[in-house]
Amino acid sequence: MTDAPATCDILFRDATIVDGTGAPGRRGDVAVTGDRISGVGDLAATTAGEEIAATGKVVAPGFIDVHTHDDRALITDPDMTPKLSQGVTTVVPGNCGFSLAPLLPEHAKDPVFELMGGPDAFLYPTFGSYLDALDAAPAAINAAPLVGHATLRAGAMDTMDRAATEDEIAAMRAKVGEALESGAAGFSSGLFYPPGRQAPAAELVALIEPLAGTGAVYTTHMRNEDDHVEDSLEETFETARQAGVPVVISHHKCAGVTNHGRSTATLGRIEKARQGQAVGLDAYPYTAGSTVLMNELVERAERTIITWSNTVPEAAGRDLAELAAEWGVEILEAADRVQPAGAVYFMLSEEDVQSILAYSRTMIGSDGIPHDKHPHPRLWGTFPRVLGHYARELGLFTLEEAVHRMSGLSAETFGIKDRGRVAAGCFADLVLFDPETVIDRATYEQPERPAAGIDMVLVNGSVAYAAGKWTGSRSGRTIRRAA
């Protein structure tokens, strides 16, 4: 127990404190003074400006969404309701190789940049200028952005269907340096996507070497997540090992019916690699993935739902096979007709999803895509789904373990200081929820339904979400990795 402050601003009285370390929940009080937690334990003598009766409720660290594409949403939709309503207080944007900075519109022509809302969204010539823009117009939640490989390639290369030359690597390395000096949490790659696909491992080693010893991490949407997922894991380990950098495998999965069940082998490889180097991973709690519309994914998926289409806007939310039937064409012809577009792809097995979630090193990351017209439900449902469905209903792990994998473990892995724990002195990023009722409500049919059971969210000591609504608070901060 810590010293009890005589007074504080906000006091959660008689909560079950689940502190983010994985330790068993315990009954007690949590005091907040200014932007920090000022006391945890029996605070019977402490008086407060505002006292919140929390009997039967859990106070936990605000959740850290380690895998996001919220780069632009933080600026255009500062309420960040899809995340805030889940209890998320910090996001890591810039994953899968796509960061909003540093890049300008004339270089953001590749279709994958539609993930960020298209070329016009790219307004930041340096990584630092993007972080400054976040400071100048803060969102409701914190952000610890990554710099993306595809973004750097788009800025440095006239065509991305080849390996980068030495000069291009030098130009990109200089931008990695600028991003790191500005405080980037790390570097991401998306070697599956066309802009990154032709980059050999040596290019990645050269680009992530500057991260070594800085505390910054390398996150990767690997080259392959289906038939060659194990080869891709080995490539990932080797790349990170050569550069001497900690690595996080993004949205780990074994895609396609013929690869179902392979998570036993992939998790075995991850566990083995961990004996010699720092390896982490994240996952979302769904059997469908989502990204831009790509024929090779349509062919692999058991079912495809369109999430947005520039040419046929009314296709959003529709099953691609149904559209094809209506139009009397083959499914790939229907895909061509709606391009450029995005989609949800059903291609994972529930067994693999569960074994990956159950693995003790797996962090929770939504991979939500905020600008889609009919998004994958993971955008609004990921964290309450892990707490309510996988922990409470299925008993896949304890509530404490679930919270750890969405807070303490995440902060530790991404070097996010003084967050991810309920402890005196930490920033007061907190979520109050009902462990009996917390659950996701977003579905594939109705993907924008807020979760149930999230009572209150504090970001840096300010109440940002209460009574099912954003309060108007914009107390989020740009988290810069300390040198």
For residues 323 and 332, the answer to whether their CB atoms sit within 8 Å is no
Q: For residue 96, state whether it binds Cu ion (rule: CB under 5 A).
A: yes
Span interacting with Cu ion, options 114-122, 147-155, 171-179, 362-370, rule CB under 5 A = 362-370
For residues 77 and 138, the answer to whether their CB atoms sit within 8 Å is no
In the complex, the smallest distance separating the C-beta of residue 367 from Zn ion, rounded to whole angstroms, is 6
Please identify the residue of the shown chain whose CB is closest to the bound Cu ion.
Answer: 96
Q: For residue 304, state whether it binds Cu ion (rule: CB under 5 A).
A: no
Q: Of residues 221, 262, 318, 441, which one binds Zn ion by CB under 5 A?
A: 221
**Residue span 231-260 as binding mask against Zn ion, x where in contact by CB under 5 A, dash where not:** ------------------------------
Span interacting with Zn ion, options 93-101, 232-240, 313-321, 332-340, rule CB under 5 A = 93-101
Nearer to Cu ion, 75 or 379 (CB): 379
Other C-beta atoms lying within 10 Å of the C-beta of residue 429: 35
Span interacting with Zn ion, options 70-78, 91-99, 357-365, 430-438, rule CB under 5 A = 91-99
Closest CA to 175 of 210, 216, 142: 210
For residues 378 and 370, the answer to whether their CB atoms sit within 8 Å is no
In the complex, the smallest distance separating the C-beta of residue 444 from Zn ion, rounded to whole angstroms, is 19
Q: Which helix (H) or strand (E) holds 307?
A: strand 303-309
Q: What is the DSSP letter of 121?
A: G
In the complex, the smallest distance separating the C-beta of residue 246 from Zn ion, rounded to whole angstroms, is 18
Residues contacting Cu ion: total by CB under 5 A: 3
In the complex, the smallest distance separating the C-beta of residue 183 from Cu ion, rounded to whole angstroms, is 21
Nearer to Zn ion, 96 or 399 (CB): 96
Burial zone of 89 (CB within 10 Å; 0-12 exposed, 13-18 middle, 19+ buried): buried
Distance CA 269, CA 263 (A): 10
Residues contacting Zn ion: total by CB under 5 A: 2
Closest CA to 138 of 476, 462, 370, 470: 476
Q: For residue 367, state whether it binds Cu ion (rule: CB under 5 A).
A: yes
In the complex, the smallest distance separating the C-beta of residue 59 from Cu ion, rounded to whole angstroms, is 30
Nearer to Cu ion, 217 or 439 (CB): 217
- Report the site for Cu ion in 411-450 (rule: CB under 5 A): none
Name the one residue in this structure whose structure tokens are 């914009």: 474
Closest CA to 386 of 376, 375, 374, 398: 398
Listed in order, strand segments (DSSP E) in 57-162 are 58-61, 63-65, 88-91, 142-143, 146-148
Q: For residue 112, state whether it binds Zn ion (rule: CB under 5 A).
A: no
Q: Of residues 96, 143, 205, 316, which one binds Zn ion by CB under 5 A?
A: 96
Span interacting with Cu ion, options 24-32, 93-101, 155-163, 451-459, rule CB under 5 A = 93-101
Nearer to Cu ion, 247 or 424 (CB): 247
Return the SS3 of 222: coil
Span interacting with Zn ion, options 96-104, 170-178, 209-217, 302-310, rule CB under 5 A = 96-104
In the complex, the smallest distance separating the C-beta of residue 290 from Cu ion, rounded to whole angstroms, is 9
Q: What is the DSSP string of 240-287?
A: HHHHT--EEETT----SGGGTTTHHHHHHHHHHHTTTS-EEEEE-S-S
Distance CA 70, CA 80 (A): 9
Residue type for 326, please? E
For residues 90 and 144, the answer to whether their CB atoms sit within 8 Å is yes
Q: Under the rule (CB under 5 A), what is the footprint of Cu ion?
A: 95-96, 367
Q: Under the rule (CB under 5 A), what is the footprint of Zn ion?
A: 96, 221
